[in-house]
Amino acid sequence: MRRTKIVATVGPACDSEALLRAMISAGVNVFRLNFSHGSAEEHKARCQMIREISAEEDRYVAVLGDLQGPKIRLRTLAVDAIDVAPGDELILDTRLADGEGDERHIGVDYQPLARSVEAGDTLLIDDGRLQLSVVSVEGEAVHCRAESIGVLRSRKGINRLGGGLSAPALTEKDLADIKHAAEMDLDFIAISFPSSAADINDARDKLEGAGCHAQIIGKIERAEAVAEDEHLDALIRACDGVMVARGDLGVEIGDASLIGLQKHIIKRARVLNRPVITATQMMESMISNPIPTRAEVFDVANAVLDGTDAVMLSAETAAGQYPLETVKAMSRNCMGAERYPSARKSSYRIERSFESVEETLAMSAVFAANHQVGVKAIVSLTETGRTVLLMSRLTSGIPIFAFSRNATTCRRVSLYRGVFAVSSPGPSPAVHDCIETLKAGGHVDAGDLIIMTMGDQVGVDNHTNTMKIVRVL
């Protein structure tokens, strides 16, 4: 069973019942709705379709809404596109409205730009595809010189190398989309461009105020967010999970620094008991090709070996020519990496002291499963999914089955590495019933051992305090 989960973005390329059904069968665990594109009505229709198909297929599939956030962009250009060559002089001006200016005088929708940069700074346009150096700042006009060849188009994003261009984490559009997310009962909401834990706390207040109960995934994509370990840890703790958003983050800190930082973020998220998604350009070539490059295969494998809970597909499934083939290739690559010994066992946390009984039971169960001969499955009877989240922080080749009567919990745990949701008819199913369910699914046979965790107070959240080892008859 593949333990690393797959997040796939829904878009025009896979916007059909047949294709979404095939993608679920191929292994998609979470579908992402990108609120930067499409209307609220389109997202609601797609969410409803996903819910109906997953119910028909008897699979728990979560839905994640990704807020657009305050990405700093060029305004709509006066022309379709502008060809730029090294040495060309350009003026970025916050006073220009959409459609104003010319091929060398371009509007920007970020009012503090002139006060946020100075001569010598490097501005990166369109995820770094075009590089500009700041020559001077005159009033609201930023005079730049092109350092690379490229094409400028309307609404492309702007970053400053090293970070420093910041805007409030939630825009008016985001606040409207949060209300739509509440109506759709989404499982996760991704917050774009948070700079600190305070941004996440503010977003949580806004979600609660809108009646949205989705868990928050903080997208790590600003240089300020990773400037200091203490700051990064605080941001991770404020979230329910995080995403290594390698596009904007790589632009701000440089690709060379991104390699080690990805590993560091994944490690810190696991230490702090948060699920982590690795995203951006993982299978980029499959937008227009039916097979991935070997470099992409290795990129996915490295994220798996780093311990990521999930890997994400963006344009590959939303706008690419081969969305289904991409999901299948991603699944194969994850499973290939998971066969490597270091992806199956670890001594992580063996020296740690635990502060809660629940964490002690969770860690004990996985440690025992990794070392007791004959254990083929871990079963957790869970209300909220907290116990299986803790279990999934310890690397194991043993599948973890989360039995829950709560459909929301079953969908959420679908994001956790190595965890598989099973619907439970009641709060505390009999041991025999759990075993029969696993036998029917082909997961265990007579003579196998199962490790089970549960609470002795039925229906009480976060009260796992019992572990037992059961032999399958």
Q: Which two tokens stand for residue 443?
A: 């997961």
**Which is the catalytic residue, given 5, 32, 71, 270?**
32
Helix ranges, 278-352 (H): 294-306, 315-318, 323-338
Strands 130-138 and 105-107: unpaired
Instruction: For residue 32, indicate whether it is catalytic.
Output: yes
Q: How far is CA 141 from CA 90, 100, 122, 130, 207, in A?
A: 10, 14, 15, 19, 37
The structure tokens listed for 175 are 């606040």
CA–CA gap between residue 118 and residue 112 (Å, rounded):
12
Question: What is d(CA 235, CA 219) in angstroms, rounded to the nearest whole number?
Answer: 10
Of 160, 206, 219, 386, which one is the catalytic site residue? 219
**Tokens 């389109």 found at:** 42
Residue matched to tokens 């979560």: 62
Q: Is the dihedral of CA 419, 372, 450, 353 positive or negative?
A: negative
Q: For the chain, what is the total number of helices (H) and then of strands (E)?
A: 15, 21
Q: What burial letters (b/e) apply to 89-118, b meaning 16+ CB within 10 Å?
A: ebbbbbebeeeebeeeebbbbbeebbebbe
Work out the widest C-alpha separation in the chain, in whole angstroms. 80
Which residues, 6 or more positions from 446, have their beta carbon under 8 angstroms from its beta carbon?
472, 473
Looking at 147-245, list the stretches that DSSP marks H as alpha helix, in order from N- to C-terminal side.
172-184, 197-209, 229-238
206 is catalytic: no
Give the C-alpha separation, 90 to 259, whole Å.
Answer: 32
Which of the residues 44, 51, 59, 73 is marked catalytic? 73
Give the C-alpha separation, 418 to 435, whole Å.
19
- Angle between helices 255-271 and 229-238 in degrees, nearest 10: 50
β pairing state of 158-160 and 122-125: antiparallel
Burial of 163 (0-12, 13-18, 19+ CB in 10 A): buried
Distance of alpha carbon 472 from alpha carbon 336, whole angstroms: 29
What burial class does residue 319 get, using C-beta atoms within 10 Å of its C-beta: 0-12 exposed, 13-18 middle, 19+ buried?
middle
What is the set of active-site residues? Answer: 32, 73, 219, 280
